[in-house]
């Protein structure tokens, strides 16, 4: 929700480096990590309801806090508190899904979760885009919506007891190597999607494509894509099977290629929708695969590590842009978007070749046996 406030913040704090202004969106991703890595321990000592209530209280403090600050450093401190709160909230509700749903029901729940994140973000970014035209402080006031979530958790969420696990069983359970690949891939595709909220506001302003408020609407439209992608993940998985991942990567790459050449608001809207649609499928797939390959007894640890990769890569997104610009010897965001599109296409081709070689090896092994 803070993304539409980036341009007004840059104007309000003219002596602040542009990278620090972008960190208003991403610094929370770094500070998610301390509480994220404690989630397994906390889940064995406290009931899930208490953890979520504590997380939501901190979320309110960190979310609304910047509206009352007159120092940019204190704004970043509040955003760090917001990150600590998300580190409590995210693994808790994701582990509840993994532990209480199986098979297709789990896939559907992960898709619904991603869709609600997307449509919720779209609604509040639209509000934020409008409010940003009035003043950046008002944008942060929209975080008061979490009061509604706090009331819902207190009123309706059961008191799921702390996890009870035997020490010997826990010590014998190990994270499979394939999960490491899933976690890294989850972080990288999230980093690509994070290029939208961290760069679009400045991109359209610098290229004369739209205003501060239109940036909010366009970022929101990408989250409408996330919403649709999340709802469709179960069906498209059945339809495309092993071809799904490369097709979705090509879709995301096409969105970035279109964005790199656009000069009109409607083509920006189409591009970010394509990127959001791809992310809406990829994000729940990461959690579905994690729940499938990680032993149930350490699934919270697995989800925490996946989220650690996701949020670390979100935080590194602005640095990734700076690195690509340095590599290309260009300060044009258009060139960065083009490079990302080419990279995603290359990964999609590599995935297809890897899958084909793996299938051939499996068939050859079966024939020899």
Q: How do residues 162-177 score in pLDDT, each as one tens digit?
A: 766 555 455 556 888 8
In this structure, which long-range contacts are made by residues 344-348, counting pairs with CB atoms below 8 Å and at least 24 apart in sequence?
A: 344/192, 344/249, 344/250, 344/252, 344/253, 344/256, 345/249, 345/250, 345/253, 347/249, 348/245, 348/246, 348/247, 348/249, 348/250, 348/253
Domain for residue 220, yes or no? yes
Residue 342 has pLDDT above 60, yes or no: yes
When pLDDT is cut at 50, 70 and 90, the band that residue 19 belongs to is confident
Domain for residue 243, yes or no? yes
Distances (CA, A) of 113 to 12, 164, 230, 235: 36, 26, 8, 16
When pLDDT is averaged across residues 221-232 and rounded to a whole number, the result is 90
Residue 366 has pLDDT above 70, yes or no: no
Q: Is the CB of residue 53 less than 8 Å from the CB of residue 88? A: no
Stronger pLDDT, 62 or 242, i.e. the higher one? 62
Domain for residue 254, yes or no? yes
Domain for residue 349, yes or no? yes
What is the DSSP annotation of 53-94?
A: HHHHHHHHHHHHGGGG-SSHHHHHHHHHHHHHHHHHHHHHHH
Q: In this prediction, what percent of the chain has a pLDDT beyond 70? A: 92
Domain for residue 152, yes or no? yes
When pLDDT is cut at 50, 70 and 90, the band that residue 246 belongs to is very high
| pLDDT on residue 163 | 66
Highest mean pLDDT among 18-22, 39-43, 279-283, 290-294: 279-283
CATH number at residue 67: 1.20.1250.20
Domain for residue 172, yes or no? no
Residue 197 has pLDDT above 90, yes or no: no
* Domain count within the chain: 1
> Which residues, 6 or more positions from 172, have their beta carbon under 8 angstroms from its beta carbon?
none
| pLDDT on residue 129 | 66
Q: Is the CB of residue 347 less than 8 Å from the CB of residue 252? A: no
pLDDT in tens, 82-124: 999 998 998 888 888 887 888 888 888 888 988 888 888 777 7
Stronger pLDDT, 215 or 28, i.e. the higher one? 28
| pLDDT on residue 184 | 93
| pLDDT on residue 200 | 85
| pLDDT on residue 300 | 77
Domain for residue 366, yes or no? no
CA–CA gap between residue 110 and residue 117 (Å, rounded): 11
Q: HSE (CB half, 13 Å, CA atoms) of 183?
A: 21
Stronger pLDDT, 36 or 345, i.e. the higher one? 345
pLDDT in tens, 289-304: 988 888 877 777 888 8
CA–CA gap between residue 211 and residue 113 (Å, rounded): 31
| pLDDT on residue 28 | 85
Q: How far is CA 145 from the centre of its chain?
A: 20
Q: Is the CB of residue 18 less than 8 Å from the CB of residue 306? A: no
Q: HSE (CB half, 13 Å, CA atoms) of 110?
A: 30
Domain for residue 175, yes or no? no
Domain of 129, in residue numbers = 3-158+194-357
pLDDT in tens, 119-136: 887 777 667 667 777 788
Q: HSE (CB half, 13 Å, CA atoms) of 63?
A: 17
CA–CA gap between residue 314 and residue 192 (Å, rounded): 8
Q: HSE (CB half, 13 Å, CA atoms) of 232?
A: 18
Q: In this prediction, what percent of the chain has a pLDDT beyond 90? A: 34
> Which residues, 6 or more positions from 318, have their beta carbon under 8 angstroms from its beta carbon?
19, 22, 23, 26, 198
Q: Is the CB of residue 213 less than 8 Å from the CB of residue 236? A: no
When pLDDT is averaged across residues 248-254 and rounded to a whole number, the result is 95
When pLDDT is averaged across residues 264-281 and rounded to a whole number, the result is 93
Q: What is the token pair recorded at 216?
A: 């909010």
* DSSP-derived 3-state class of residue 159: coil
When pLDDT is cut at 50, 70 and 90, the band that residue 212 belongs to is low
- 123-132, 147-156, 193-202, 230-239: least confident range: 123-132
């Amino acid at each position: 929700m803070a993304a539409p406030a980036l341009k007004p913040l840059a104007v309000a704090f003219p002596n602040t480096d542009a990278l620090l202004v972008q960190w208003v969106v991403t610094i929370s991703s770094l500070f998610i990590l301390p509480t994220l890595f404690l989630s397994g321990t906390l889940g064995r000592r406290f009931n899930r309801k208490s953890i979520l209530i504590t997380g939501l209280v901190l979320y309110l403090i960190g979310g609304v806090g910047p509206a009352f600050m007159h120092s940019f450093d204190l704004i970043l401190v509040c955003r760090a508190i917001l990150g600590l709160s998300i580190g409590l909230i995210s693994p808790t509700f994701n582990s509840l899904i993994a532990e209480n749903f199986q098979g297709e029901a789990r896939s559907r729940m992960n898709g619904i979760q991603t869709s609600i994140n997307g449509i919720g973000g779209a609604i509040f970014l639209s509000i934020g885009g409008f409010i940003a035209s009035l003043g950046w402080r008002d944008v942060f006031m929209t975080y008061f919506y979490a009061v509604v979530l706090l009331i819902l958790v207190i009123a309706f969420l059961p008191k799921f007891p702390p996890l009870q696990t035997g020490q010997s069983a826990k010590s014998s359970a190990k994270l499979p190597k394939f999960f490491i690949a899933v976690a890294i891939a989850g972080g990288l595709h999230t980093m690509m999607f994070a290029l939208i909220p961290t760069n679009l506001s400045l991109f359209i302003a610098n290229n004369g494509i739209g205003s501060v408020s239109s940036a909010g609407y366009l970022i929101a439209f990408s989250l409408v894509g996330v919403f649709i992608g999340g709802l469709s993940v179960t069906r498209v998985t059945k339809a495309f099977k092993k071809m799904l991942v490369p097709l979705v990567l090509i879709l995301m790459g096409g969105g970035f290629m279109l964005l790199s050449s656009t000069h009109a608001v409607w083509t920006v809207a189409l591009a970010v929708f394509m990127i959001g649609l791809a992310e809406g499928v990829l994000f729940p797939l990461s959690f579905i695969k994690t729940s499938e390959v990680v032993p149930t007894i350490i699934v919270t640890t697995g989800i925490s590590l996946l989220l650690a990769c996701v949020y670390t890569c979100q935080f590194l997104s602005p640095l990734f842009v700076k690195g690509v610009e340095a590599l290309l010897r260009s300060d044009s965001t258009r060139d960065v978007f083009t490079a990302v599109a080419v990279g995603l296409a290359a990964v999609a081709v590599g995935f297809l070749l890897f899958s084909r070689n793996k299938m051939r090896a499996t068939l050859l092994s079966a024939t020899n046996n």
